[in-house]
Structure 1
Amino acid sequence: MTEAHRPTGRITVLVTSPRVAPGLLTRAAWQSLETAGEIAAAGGPERADVQAVIGSGLTVTKVEGGVGEHWSWLSSAAEAGRAVAWLVGDDGEPDLLHVVAAQVAREPRPPYEVEIVHGSYDVPGARLIDLVRVMDRIRRDCAWTQQETHESLAKYLLEETYETLEALDTGDRAHLREELGDLLLQVALNSRIAEEDPDDGFTIDDVAAGIVEKLVRRHPHVFGTVDATDVATVEANWEAIKATEKQRSSVLEGIPLALPALALADKVLGRAAKLLPTDAPQPNPTTEAERIGGDLLSTVREARAHGVDAEQALRTAVAALADQVRAAEKT
Protein backbone atom coordinates (compact mmCIF):
# COMPACT_ATOMS: atom_id res chain seq x y z
CA MET A 1 0.00 0.00 0.00
CA THR A 2 1.40 3.39 -0.99
CA GLU A 3 1.62 6.31 1.40
CA ALA A 4 -1.09 8.09 -0.59
CA HIS A 5 -3.52 5.21 0.02
CA ARG A 6 -2.52 4.47 3.62
CA PRO A 7 -5.58 4.94 5.88
CA THR A 8 -5.39 7.91 8.23
CA GLY A 9 -5.16 6.94 11.84
CA ARG A 10 -6.95 8.73 14.65
CA ILE A 11 -6.41 9.15 18.38
CA THR A 12 -9.43 10.07 20.48
CA VAL A 13 -8.66 11.02 24.06
CA LEU A 14 -11.83 10.71 26.13
CA VAL A 15 -11.90 12.92 29.23
CA THR A 16 -14.66 12.32 31.79
CA SER A 17 -15.58 13.67 35.20
CA PRO A 18 -14.95 11.26 38.10
CA ARG A 19 -17.86 12.96 39.86
CA VAL A 20 -20.42 11.69 37.36
CA ALA A 21 -21.65 8.10 37.16
CA PRO A 22 -19.21 6.26 34.79
CA GLY A 23 -21.82 5.21 32.22
CA LEU A 24 -23.34 8.68 31.85
CA LEU A 25 -21.40 9.78 28.78
CA THR A 26 -22.40 12.22 26.07
CA ARG A 27 -23.66 10.92 22.76
CA ALA A 28 -20.45 12.15 21.09
CA ALA A 29 -18.40 10.16 23.59
CA TRP A 30 -20.27 6.90 22.97
CA GLN A 31 -20.02 7.45 19.22
CA SER A 32 -16.25 7.91 19.53
CA LEU A 33 -15.95 4.67 21.47
CA GLU A 34 -18.19 2.72 19.12
CA THR A 35 -16.34 3.86 16.00
CA ALA A 36 -12.88 3.28 17.47
CA GLY A 37 -11.04 0.21 16.22
CA GLU A 38 -9.61 -0.28 19.71
CA ILE A 39 -10.19 1.24 23.14
CA ALA A 40 -7.45 1.37 25.75
CA ALA A 41 -6.84 2.62 29.29
CA ALA A 42 -4.15 2.67 31.94
CA GLY A 43 -6.25 0.42 34.18
CA GLY A 44 -8.38 -2.64 33.87
CA PRO A 45 -11.84 -3.70 35.05
CA GLU A 46 -11.10 -2.38 38.55
CA ARG A 47 -11.80 1.07 37.12
CA ALA A 48 -15.49 1.97 37.22
CA ASP A 49 -15.40 3.73 33.85
CA VAL A 50 -13.73 0.73 32.22
CA GLN A 51 -16.40 -1.49 33.73
CA ALA A 52 -19.11 0.72 32.25
CA VAL A 53 -17.59 0.56 28.76
CA ILE A 54 -17.10 -3.21 28.96
CA GLY A 55 -20.67 -3.52 30.23
CA SER A 56 -21.90 -1.81 27.06
CA GLY A 57 -20.41 -4.62 24.98
CA LEU A 58 -17.11 -2.99 24.02
CA THR A 59 -13.59 -4.27 24.69
CA VAL A 60 -10.97 -2.28 26.59
CA THR A 61 -7.26 -3.03 26.37
CA LYS A 62 -5.17 -2.40 29.47
CA VAL A 63 -1.87 -0.73 28.59
CA GLU A 64 0.86 -1.19 31.19
CA GLY A 65 3.63 1.26 32.04
CA GLY A 66 3.75 5.02 32.41
CA VAL A 67 3.07 8.04 30.24
CA GLY A 68 5.82 7.13 27.75
CA GLU A 69 4.44 3.65 27.17
CA HIS A 70 0.88 4.95 26.90
CA TRP A 71 1.79 7.53 24.28
CA SER A 72 3.92 5.03 22.40
CA TRP A 73 0.95 2.65 22.19
CA LEU A 74 -1.37 5.41 20.98
CA SER A 75 0.99 6.94 18.42
CA SER A 76 2.11 3.58 17.03
CA ALA A 77 -1.50 2.50 16.52
CA ALA A 78 -2.43 5.79 14.86
CA GLU A 79 0.65 5.75 12.61
CA ALA A 80 -0.41 2.28 11.49
CA GLY A 81 -3.73 3.77 10.36
CA ARG A 82 -5.89 2.54 13.25
CA ALA A 83 -8.55 4.58 15.03
CA VAL A 84 -7.95 4.23 18.77
CA ALA A 85 -9.62 5.75 21.83
CA TRP A 86 -8.04 6.33 25.23
CA LEU A 87 -10.05 6.47 28.47
CA VAL A 88 -8.47 9.07 30.74
CA GLY A 89 -8.46 8.10 34.42
CA ASP A 90 -9.97 9.85 37.45
CA ASP A 91 -6.86 11.99 37.99
CA GLY A 92 -7.18 13.49 34.52
CA GLU A 93 -3.76 12.10 33.50
CA PRO A 94 -2.29 15.61 33.04
CA ASP A 95 1.14 14.29 32.00
CA LEU A 96 -0.34 12.31 29.12
CA LEU A 97 -2.51 15.23 28.02
CA HIS A 98 0.60 17.43 28.05
CA VAL A 99 2.38 14.97 25.76
CA VAL A 100 -0.65 14.80 23.45
CA ALA A 101 -0.81 18.59 23.19
CA ALA A 102 2.95 18.85 22.52
CA GLN A 103 2.85 16.21 19.81
CA VAL A 104 -0.13 17.75 18.06
CA ALA A 105 1.51 21.19 18.03
CA ARG A 106 4.85 20.01 16.64
CA GLU A 107 5.97 20.50 13.06
CA PRO A 108 5.67 18.69 10.80
CA ARG A 109 2.21 17.64 11.85
CA PRO A 110 1.82 13.95 12.74
CA PRO A 111 0.31 11.76 10.00
CA TYR A 112 -2.84 11.08 12.03
CA GLU A 113 -5.71 12.95 13.62
CA VAL A 114 -5.93 13.72 17.32
CA GLU A 115 -9.04 14.85 19.13
CA ILE A 116 -9.98 15.35 22.77
CA VAL A 117 -13.59 14.53 23.57
CA HIS A 118 -15.26 15.50 26.83
CA GLY A 119 -17.51 12.62 27.74
CA SER A 120 -19.06 14.17 30.85
CA TYR A 121 -18.97 17.42 32.73
CA ASP A 122 -19.11 18.45 36.37
CA VAL A 123 -22.44 19.71 37.61
CA PRO A 124 -22.73 22.47 40.27
CA GLY A 125 -21.68 21.04 43.62
CA ALA A 126 -19.66 18.24 42.04
CA ARG A 127 -16.56 19.04 44.08
CA LEU A 128 -18.51 18.21 47.22
CA ILE A 129 -18.24 14.60 46.09
CA ASP A 130 -14.46 15.00 46.20
CA LEU A 131 -14.75 16.31 49.75
CA VAL A 132 -16.73 13.24 50.80
CA ARG A 133 -14.17 10.92 49.20
CA VAL A 134 -11.18 12.70 50.72
CA MET A 135 -12.79 12.84 54.15
CA ASP A 136 -13.59 9.14 54.03
CA ARG A 137 -9.98 8.29 53.28
CA ILE A 138 -8.60 10.64 55.93
CA ARG A 139 -10.91 9.15 58.56
CA ARG A 140 -9.65 5.67 57.64
CA ASP A 141 -5.95 6.41 57.23
CA CYS A 142 -5.07 9.42 59.44
CA ALA A 143 -4.26 8.52 63.05
CA TRP A 144 -5.17 11.99 64.35
CA THR A 145 -8.53 12.08 62.57
CA GLN A 146 -9.39 8.54 63.69
CA GLN A 147 -9.35 9.58 67.34
CA GLU A 148 -11.66 12.58 66.88
CA THR A 149 -15.25 12.55 68.15
CA HIS A 150 -18.19 14.95 67.95
CA GLU A 151 -17.25 16.17 71.42
CA SER A 152 -13.56 16.72 70.65
CA LEU A 153 -14.43 18.62 67.47
CA ALA A 154 -16.86 21.00 69.19
CA LYS A 155 -14.17 23.57 69.99
CA TYR A 156 -12.97 23.57 66.38
CA LEU A 157 -16.50 24.08 65.09
CA LEU A 158 -16.88 27.12 67.34
CA GLU A 159 -13.42 28.40 66.40
CA GLU A 160 -14.04 28.06 62.67
CA THR A 161 -17.39 29.82 63.03
CA TYR A 162 -15.77 32.85 64.63
CA GLU A 163 -12.97 32.85 62.05
CA THR A 164 -15.61 32.88 59.32
CA LEU A 165 -17.30 35.85 60.99
CA GLU A 166 -13.95 37.61 61.14
CA ALA A 167 -13.46 37.03 57.42
CA LEU A 168 -16.89 38.55 56.81
CA ASP A 169 -15.94 41.58 58.88
CA THR A 170 -12.72 42.20 56.93
CA GLY A 171 -14.40 41.92 53.53
CA ASP A 172 -11.52 39.77 52.29
CA ARG A 173 -13.20 37.48 49.75
CA ALA A 174 -10.31 35.03 49.46
CA HIS A 175 -10.16 34.76 53.26
CA LEU A 176 -13.92 34.22 53.41
CA ARG A 177 -13.73 31.44 50.82
CA GLU A 178 -11.01 29.71 52.83
CA GLU A 179 -12.87 30.00 56.13
CA LEU A 180 -16.12 28.73 54.61
CA GLY A 181 -14.11 25.72 53.45
CA ASP A 182 -12.83 25.16 56.99
CA LEU A 183 -16.39 25.39 58.28
CA LEU A 184 -17.54 22.93 55.63
CA LEU A 185 -14.76 20.60 56.75
CA GLN A 186 -16.33 20.46 60.20
CA VAL A 187 -19.69 19.48 58.70
CA ALA A 188 -18.06 16.79 56.54
CA LEU A 189 -15.96 15.32 59.35
CA ASN A 190 -18.78 15.28 61.89
CA SER A 191 -21.02 13.61 59.31
CA ARG A 192 -18.35 11.01 58.55
CA ILE A 193 -17.96 10.24 62.26
CA ALA A 194 -21.74 9.92 62.59
CA GLU A 195 -21.71 7.08 60.04
CA GLU A 196 -19.89 4.91 62.55
CA ASP A 197 -22.64 5.02 65.19
CA PRO A 198 -24.10 1.48 65.20
CA ASP A 199 -27.43 2.54 66.71
CA ASP A 200 -28.20 6.00 65.39
CA GLY A 201 -25.83 6.63 62.50
CA PHE A 202 -26.37 8.99 59.63
CA THR A 203 -24.38 10.14 56.59
CA ILE A 204 -23.65 13.47 54.98
CA ASP A 205 -26.31 12.55 52.40
CA ASP A 206 -28.82 12.35 55.25
CA VAL A 207 -27.67 15.76 56.46
CA ALA A 208 -28.06 17.24 52.98
CA ALA A 209 -31.42 15.52 52.43
CA GLY A 210 -32.72 16.92 55.70
CA ILE A 211 -31.88 20.52 54.91
CA VAL A 212 -33.15 20.20 51.33
CA GLU A 213 -36.49 18.88 52.57
CA LYS A 214 -36.69 21.66 55.16
CA LEU A 215 -35.91 24.36 52.60
CA VAL A 216 -38.53 23.08 50.17
CA ARG A 217 -41.10 22.69 52.97
CA ARG A 218 -40.52 26.19 54.35
CA HIS A 219 -40.54 27.90 50.96
CA PRO A 220 -44.03 27.07 49.65
CA HIS A 221 -43.98 30.40 47.79
CA VAL A 222 -41.04 29.05 45.75
CA PHE A 223 -41.80 25.33 45.46
CA GLY A 224 -45.56 25.37 46.03
CA THR A 225 -48.59 27.49 45.28
CA VAL A 226 -48.48 29.93 48.21
CA ASP A 227 -48.41 33.59 47.19
CA ALA A 228 -45.82 35.63 49.10
CA THR A 229 -44.60 38.74 47.32
CA ASP A 230 -42.92 40.59 50.20
CA VAL A 231 -40.35 39.79 52.87
CA ALA A 232 -42.81 40.14 55.77
CA THR A 233 -45.14 37.52 54.31
CA VAL A 234 -42.24 35.16 53.63
CA GLU A 235 -41.05 35.49 57.23
CA ALA A 236 -44.56 35.01 58.61
CA ASN A 237 -45.02 31.84 56.54
CA TRP A 238 -41.64 30.54 57.66
CA GLU A 239 -42.46 31.06 61.34
CA ALA A 240 -45.92 29.50 60.98
CA ILE A 241 -44.54 26.40 59.26
CA LYS A 242 -41.70 26.16 61.80
CA ALA A 243 -44.14 26.40 64.73
CA THR A 244 -46.24 23.59 63.27
CA GLU A 245 -43.15 21.40 62.79
CA LYS A 246 -41.57 21.99 66.19
CA GLN A 247 -44.70 21.94 68.40
CA ARG A 248 -42.79 23.82 71.12
CA SER A 249 -44.28 24.63 74.51
CA SER A 250 -42.55 28.03 74.67
CA VAL A 251 -41.61 30.64 72.10
CA LEU A 252 -38.14 30.65 73.68
CA GLU A 253 -37.47 26.99 72.96
CA GLY A 254 -34.72 26.42 70.41
CA ILE A 255 -32.73 29.55 71.25
CA PRO A 256 -29.17 28.40 72.02
CA LEU A 257 -28.11 29.96 75.31
CA ALA A 258 -24.46 29.76 74.23
CA LEU A 259 -25.00 32.57 71.71
CA PRO A 260 -22.99 35.78 72.28
CA ALA A 261 -24.92 38.01 74.68
CA LEU A 262 -26.07 40.61 72.12
CA ALA A 263 -27.15 37.94 69.64
CA LEU A 264 -28.96 36.10 72.44
CA ALA A 265 -30.73 39.30 73.48
CA ASP A 266 -31.79 39.92 69.88
CA LYS A 267 -33.24 36.41 69.60
CA VAL A 268 -35.13 36.61 72.89
CA LEU A 269 -36.50 40.09 72.09
CA GLY A 270 -37.66 38.82 68.70
CA ARG A 271 -39.57 35.93 70.27
CA ALA A 272 -40.84 38.08 73.15
CA ALA A 273 -42.36 40.58 70.72
CA LYS A 274 -45.01 37.97 69.92
CA LEU A 275 -46.31 38.12 73.49
CA LEU A 276 -45.15 41.36 75.12
CA PRO A 277 -45.66 44.95 73.91
CA THR A 278 -42.46 46.78 73.05
CA ASP A 279 -43.19 49.36 75.75
CA ALA A 280 -43.74 46.80 78.51
CA PRO A 281 -42.38 48.13 81.85
CA GLN A 282 -38.91 46.88 82.78
CA PRO A 283 -37.87 45.74 86.28
CA ASN A 284 -36.26 48.45 88.37
CA PRO A 285 -32.51 47.77 88.71
CA THR A 286 -31.11 47.34 92.20
CA THR A 287 -27.41 47.17 91.25
CA GLU A 288 -25.15 48.85 88.75
CA ALA A 289 -24.79 45.54 86.92
CA GLU A 290 -28.58 45.27 86.54
CA ARG A 291 -28.78 48.88 85.35
CA ILE A 292 -26.06 48.37 82.74
CA GLY A 293 -27.65 45.10 81.67
CA GLY A 294 -30.98 46.87 81.21
CA ASP A 295 -29.29 49.63 79.22
CA LEU A 296 -27.66 47.06 76.94
CA LEU A 297 -30.99 45.31 76.45
CA SER A 298 -32.58 48.66 75.57
CA THR A 299 -29.79 49.25 73.06
CA VAL A 300 -30.51 45.89 71.40
CA ARG A 301 -34.22 46.75 71.37
CA GLU A 302 -33.39 50.06 69.66
CA ALA A 303 -31.17 48.26 67.14
CA ARG A 304 -34.04 45.92 66.26
CA ALA A 305 -36.36 48.89 65.79
CA HIS A 306 -33.94 50.31 63.22
CA GLY A 307 -33.30 46.97 61.51
CA VAL A 308 -29.72 46.83 62.80
CA ASP A 309 -27.93 43.66 63.90
CA ALA A 310 -26.63 44.69 67.33
CA GLU A 311 -24.00 41.95 67.45
CA GLN A 312 -22.57 42.92 64.06
CA ALA A 313 -22.80 46.61 64.86
CA LEU A 314 -20.68 46.14 67.97
CA ARG A 315 -18.21 43.94 66.12
CA THR A 316 -17.82 46.65 63.47
CA ALA A 317 -17.32 49.33 66.13
CA VAL A 318 -14.72 47.23 67.95
CA ALA A 319 -12.89 46.60 64.67
CA ALA A 320 -12.78 50.37 64.04
CA LEU A 321 -11.42 50.88 67.56
CA ALA A 322 -8.76 48.23 66.92
CA ASP A 323 -7.72 50.09 63.78
CA GLN A 324 -7.35 53.29 65.81
CA VAL A 325 -5.20 51.46 68.36
CA ARG A 326 -2.91 50.07 65.66
CA ALA A 327 -2.62 53.51 64.06
CA ALA A 328 -1.74 55.03 67.44
CA GLU A 329 0.94 52.37 67.95
CA LYS A 330 2.67 53.47 64.74
CA THR A 331 2.88 57.13 65.73
Structure 2
Amino acid sequence: MRVLVVSPRVAPGILTLEAWDALRAADRVVSAEDGPHVQGIRSSGIDVEIAAGLPTEVDDDVIWIAPPGDAAWARDVATDLVGDAEWAIEIIFGSHDLPGASLLDLVAVMDRLRRECPWTQLQTHASLAPYLTEETNEALHAISSGDVDDLIEELGDVLMQVVFHAAIAAEGPDVRDIDDVAMGITAKLVRRNPHVFGDAVVTTPEEVDAQWNRIKAEEKQQKPSWRTER
Protein backbone atom coordinates (compact mmCIF):
# COMPACT_ATOMS: atom_id res chain seq x y z
CA MET A 1 0.00 0.00 0.00
CA ARG A 2 1.06 3.55 -0.68
CA VAL A 3 0.15 6.75 1.15
CA LEU A 4 0.30 9.98 -0.82
CA VAL A 5 1.10 13.22 1.03
CA VAL A 6 0.49 16.54 -0.72
CA SER A 7 1.19 20.10 0.34
CA PRO A 8 -1.80 22.36 1.02
CA ARG A 9 0.33 25.29 -0.22
CA VAL A 10 0.81 23.86 -3.71
CA ALA A 11 -1.96 24.31 -6.27
CA PRO A 12 -4.28 21.27 -6.60
CA GLY A 13 -3.28 18.93 -9.40
CA ILE A 14 0.39 19.90 -9.35
CA LEU A 15 2.09 16.66 -8.35
CA THR A 16 5.39 14.93 -8.94
CA LEU A 17 5.72 12.46 -11.82
CA GLU A 18 6.16 9.68 -9.25
CA ALA A 19 2.83 10.60 -7.67
CA TRP A 20 0.96 10.67 -10.98
CA ASP A 21 2.48 7.35 -12.05
CA ALA A 22 1.45 5.77 -8.75
CA LEU A 23 -2.08 7.17 -8.96
CA ARG A 24 -2.58 5.92 -12.52
CA ALA A 25 -1.21 2.47 -11.70
CA ALA A 26 -3.35 1.96 -8.59
CA ASP A 27 -6.52 -0.18 -8.70
CA ARG A 28 -8.13 2.08 -6.09
CA VAL A 29 -7.42 5.58 -4.84
CA VAL A 30 -8.90 6.44 -1.45
CA SER A 31 -8.75 9.78 0.36
CA ALA A 32 -9.08 10.51 4.04
CA GLU A 33 -11.03 13.67 3.19
CA ASP A 34 -12.46 15.52 0.22
CA GLY A 35 -11.11 18.84 -0.96
CA PRO A 36 -9.36 20.77 -3.76
CA HIS A 37 -6.49 18.28 -4.09
CA VAL A 38 -8.92 15.39 -4.52
CA GLN A 39 -10.85 17.41 -7.09
CA GLY A 40 -7.60 18.11 -8.95
CA ILE A 41 -6.84 14.41 -9.15
CA ARG A 42 -10.38 13.58 -10.22
CA SER A 43 -10.19 16.18 -12.99
CA SER A 44 -7.43 14.11 -14.58
CA GLY A 45 -9.81 11.16 -14.89
CA ILE A 46 -8.76 9.23 -11.78
CA ASP A 47 -11.60 8.13 -9.52
CA VAL A 48 -11.07 8.90 -5.83
CA GLU A 49 -13.15 7.34 -3.06
CA ILE A 50 -13.73 9.26 0.16
CA ALA A 51 -13.26 7.02 3.19
CA ALA A 52 -15.33 7.17 6.35
CA GLY A 53 -12.43 6.01 8.49
CA LEU A 54 -8.77 5.06 8.49
CA PRO A 55 -7.20 2.19 6.53
CA THR A 56 -7.67 -1.12 8.31
CA GLU A 57 -5.57 -3.38 6.09
CA VAL A 58 -2.64 -3.24 3.71
CA ASP A 59 -3.47 -3.60 0.03
CA ASP A 60 -0.65 -3.30 -2.50
CA ASP A 61 -3.02 -2.00 -5.18
CA VAL A 62 -4.47 0.86 -3.14
CA ILE A 63 -3.22 4.42 -2.69
CA TRP A 64 -4.46 6.42 0.27
CA ILE A 65 -4.30 10.21 0.08
CA ALA A 66 -3.49 11.73 3.46
CA PRO A 67 -5.11 14.98 4.62
CA PRO A 68 -3.13 17.76 2.85
CA GLY A 69 0.13 18.49 4.60
CA ASP A 70 -0.38 15.84 7.27
CA ALA A 71 2.73 13.67 7.00
CA ALA A 72 2.20 12.62 10.63
CA TRP A 73 -1.13 11.05 9.63
CA ALA A 74 0.68 8.99 7.00
CA ARG A 75 3.36 7.86 9.45
CA ASP A 76 0.79 6.99 12.12
CA VAL A 77 -1.25 4.94 9.67
CA ALA A 78 1.86 3.10 8.54
CA THR A 79 2.90 2.38 12.13
CA ASP A 80 -0.57 1.15 13.14
CA LEU A 81 -1.00 -1.09 10.13
CA VAL A 82 2.45 -2.57 9.87
CA GLY A 83 3.25 -3.26 13.51
CA ASP A 84 5.41 -6.36 13.60
CA ALA A 85 4.15 -7.64 10.26
CA GLU A 86 6.22 -7.78 7.11
CA TRP A 87 3.87 -5.65 5.05
CA ALA A 88 5.32 -2.75 3.13
CA ILE A 89 3.80 0.72 3.23
CA GLU A 90 5.41 3.43 1.11
CA ILE A 91 4.88 7.13 1.76
CA ILE A 92 5.01 9.21 -1.41
CA PHE A 93 5.43 12.96 -1.22
CA GLY A 94 3.47 14.22 -4.20
CA SER A 95 4.31 17.89 -3.71
CA HIS A 96 6.83 19.70 -1.58
CA ASP A 97 6.88 23.02 0.23
CA LEU A 98 9.63 25.52 -0.39
CA PRO A 99 11.73 26.41 2.67
CA GLY A 100 9.83 28.93 4.76
CA ALA A 101 6.39 27.83 3.58
CA SER A 102 5.22 27.22 7.15
CA LEU A 103 5.62 30.94 7.81
CA LEU A 104 2.49 31.42 5.71
CA ASP A 105 0.57 29.29 8.21
CA LEU A 106 1.80 31.45 11.08
CA VAL A 107 0.74 34.63 9.30
CA ALA A 108 -2.70 33.16 8.56
CA VAL A 109 -3.19 32.03 12.17
CA MET A 110 -2.17 35.43 13.49
CA ASP A 111 -4.51 37.21 11.08
CA ARG A 112 -7.41 35.05 12.29
CA LEU A 113 -6.54 35.63 15.94
CA ARG A 114 -6.44 39.36 15.27
CA ARG A 115 -9.96 39.17 13.83
CA GLU A 116 -11.58 36.74 16.26
CA CYS A 117 -9.69 36.63 19.59
CA PRO A 118 -10.74 39.37 22.07
CA TRP A 119 -7.38 39.43 23.84
CA THR A 120 -5.37 39.52 20.61
CA GLN A 121 -7.55 42.31 19.24
CA LEU A 122 -6.75 44.55 22.22
CA GLN A 123 -2.98 44.34 21.91
CA THR A 124 -0.80 47.22 20.70
CA HIS A 125 2.91 47.63 20.04
CA ALA A 126 3.26 49.09 23.52
CA SER A 127 1.32 46.35 25.31
CA LEU A 128 3.36 43.65 23.58
CA ALA A 129 6.74 45.22 24.30
CA PRO A 130 7.28 43.33 27.60
CA TYR A 131 6.56 40.03 25.86
CA LEU A 132 9.16 40.73 23.19
CA THR A 133 11.75 41.28 25.90
CA GLU A 134 10.63 38.20 27.82
CA GLU A 135 10.65 35.89 24.81
CA THR A 136 14.04 37.16 23.68
CA ASN A 137 15.52 36.50 27.11
CA GLU A 138 14.07 33.00 27.13
CA ALA A 139 15.61 32.33 23.72
CA LEU A 140 18.97 33.52 25.03
CA HIS A 141 18.59 31.16 27.99
CA ALA A 142 17.86 28.28 25.61
CA ILE A 143 21.03 29.09 23.68
CA SER A 144 23.04 28.98 26.93
CA SER A 145 21.48 25.66 27.93
CA GLY A 146 22.37 24.00 24.63
CA ASP A 147 18.90 22.41 24.40
CA VAL A 148 18.06 22.57 20.69
CA ASP A 149 14.41 21.59 21.14
CA ASP A 150 13.98 24.32 23.73
CA LEU A 151 15.71 26.81 21.45
CA ILE A 152 13.41 25.99 18.53
CA GLU A 153 10.37 26.53 20.76
CA GLU A 154 11.68 29.83 22.11
CA LEU A 155 12.63 31.07 18.64
CA GLY A 156 9.05 30.31 17.64
CA ASP A 157 7.85 32.55 20.46
CA VAL A 158 10.14 35.33 19.27
CA LEU A 159 8.93 34.86 15.71
CA MET A 160 5.34 35.06 16.90
CA GLN A 161 6.10 38.46 18.41
CA VAL A 162 7.49 39.67 15.07
CA VAL A 163 4.42 38.47 13.19
CA PHE A 164 2.14 39.91 15.90
CA HIS A 165 3.72 43.37 15.66
CA ALA A 166 3.57 43.22 11.87
CA ALA A 167 -0.15 42.36 12.01
CA ILE A 168 -0.75 45.40 14.19
CA ALA A 169 1.32 47.62 11.89
CA ALA A 170 -0.77 46.45 8.93
CA GLU A 171 -3.81 48.07 10.57
CA GLY A 172 -2.08 51.40 11.17
CA PRO A 173 -2.17 54.55 9.03
CA ASP A 174 1.09 53.66 7.26
CA VAL A 175 -0.11 50.12 6.44
CA ARG A 176 3.12 48.20 6.91
CA ASP A 177 2.86 44.43 7.08
CA ILE A 178 4.95 41.27 7.40
CA ASP A 179 6.02 41.52 3.76
CA ASP A 180 7.51 44.95 4.44
CA VAL A 181 9.40 43.46 7.37
CA ALA A 182 10.73 40.62 5.22
CA MET A 183 11.54 42.85 2.23
CA GLY A 184 13.34 45.32 4.47
CA ILE A 185 15.66 42.82 6.10
CA THR A 186 16.22 40.99 2.80
CA ALA A 187 17.29 44.21 1.09
CA LYS A 188 19.55 45.04 4.04
CA LEU A 189 21.26 41.65 3.91
CA VAL A 190 21.88 42.02 0.19
CA ARG A 191 23.23 45.58 0.55
CA ARG A 192 25.53 44.78 3.43
CA ASN A 193 26.97 41.59 1.97
CA PRO A 194 28.33 42.73 -1.41
CA HIS A 195 30.99 40.00 -1.23
CA VAL A 196 28.12 37.53 -1.77
CA PHE A 197 25.63 39.56 -3.81
CA GLY A 198 28.05 41.92 -5.54
CA ASP A 199 31.66 42.16 -6.62
CA ALA A 200 33.32 43.10 -3.32
CA VAL A 201 36.19 40.89 -2.20
CA VAL A 202 36.62 39.99 1.47
CA THR A 203 38.15 36.76 2.72
CA THR A 204 37.95 36.71 6.52
CA PRO A 205 35.15 37.01 9.08
CA GLU A 206 36.83 40.14 10.41
CA GLU A 207 36.74 41.76 6.97
CA VAL A 208 33.08 40.83 6.60
CA ASP A 209 32.28 42.45 9.95
CA ALA A 210 34.22 45.61 9.07
CA GLN A 211 32.47 45.84 5.70
CA TRP A 212 29.05 45.48 7.36
CA ASN A 213 29.79 48.25 9.84
CA ARG A 214 31.19 50.54 7.16
CA ILE A 215 28.10 50.14 4.96
CA LYS A 216 25.86 50.58 8.01
CA ALA A 217 27.59 53.84 8.91
CA GLU A 218 27.23 55.11 5.35
CA GLU A 219 23.52 54.29 5.36
CA LYS A 220 23.00 56.12 8.64
CA GLN A 221 24.26 59.29 6.97
CA GLN A 222 21.73 59.04 4.16
CA LYS A 223 18.00 59.16 3.99
CA PRO A 224 16.59 55.63 3.45
CA SER A 225 15.42 55.18 -0.12
CA TRP A 226 14.75 51.45 -0.15
CA ARG A 227 11.40 51.41 1.67
CA THR A 228 8.36 50.23 -0.22
CA GLU A 229 5.87 53.03 -0.80
CA ARG A 230 2.19 52.11 -0.90
Q: What range describes the TM-score normalised by the shorter chain of this pair?
A: 0.7 to 0.9
Counting aligned pairs with the same residue, the percent is: 45
Answer whether contact 1:12 1:117 (CA < 8 A) is retained. Answer: yes
- 2:191 paired residue among 201, 217, 224: 217
Structure 1 16/179 Cα, relative in aligned 2: closer, same or farther at 3 Å? same
Residue 104 of structure 2: which of 105, 113, 129 is its match? 129
Q: Is the 8 Å Cα contact of residues 195 and 202 (structure 2) preserved in structure 1? A: yes
Instruction: Kindly provide the CA deviation profile for residues 272-301 of structure 1, in whole angstroms up to 9, marking residues without a partner as x.
Output: xxxxxxxxxxxxxxxxxxxxxxxxxxxxxx
TM-score w.r.t. structure 2 length? 0.74
Tell me, in whole angstroms, the C-alpha distance in 2 between the residues paired with 1:166 and 1:231. 26
Query: Match for 1:85 among 56, 63, 66?
Result: 63
Q: Give the match for residue 278 of structure 1.
A: none
Q: How does 1:193-212 map to 2 (within 5 A)?
A: 193-197=168-172, 199-212=173-186
Q: CA offset at residue 30 of structure 1? A: 1.7
Residues 6 and 93 of structure 2 are in contact (CA less than 8 Å); yes or no, is this contact kept in structure 1?
yes
Match of 1:242 among 216, 220, 229: 216
Structure 1 CA distance for aligned equivalents of residues 84 and 144 of structure 2? 52
- Which amino acid in the other structure matches residue 201 of structure 2? D
Q: 1:133 to 1:105 in 2, by over 3 A?
A: same
Report the CA distance shift for 1:200/1:24 in structure 2 as closer, same or farther (over 3 A).
farther
Residue of 117, 122, 126 corresponding to 1:142 = 117
Larger radius of gyration: 1
Within the alignment, does 1:189 sit opposite 2:167 as a pair? no
Q: Contact 1:42–1:63 at 8 Å: present in 2 too?
A: yes
Unaligned runs of 5+ in 2: 224-230
Residue segments in structure 1 that go unaligned for 5+ positions in a row: 1-10, 250-331
Cα distance, 1:128 vs structure 2:
2.9
Counterpart of 1:65 in structure 2 is 52
- The more displaced of 136-145 and 151-160 is 136-145
CA contact (8 A) 1:26 1:119 kept: yes
Residue 191 (structure 1) shift? 1.7
1:213 deviation in Å? 1.8
Q: Distance in 2 between matches of 1:98 and 1:178?
A: 23
- The structural deviation recorded for 1:245 is 3.5
The number of equivalent residue pairs is: 223
> Partner of 2:135 in structure 1?
160
CA distance in 1, matches of 2:63, 2:36: 17
Tell me the TM-score normalised to structure 1 length.
0.55
Give 3-state SS (helix, strand or coil) of 1:14's partner: strand
CA-atom RMSD, angstroms? 3.5
Cα distance change on mapping 1:23 and 1:208 into 2, 3 Å: farther
| Cα distance change of structure 1 residues 171 and 107 upon mapping to structure 2, 3 Å threshold | closer
Distance 1:242 1:58, change over 3 A: farther
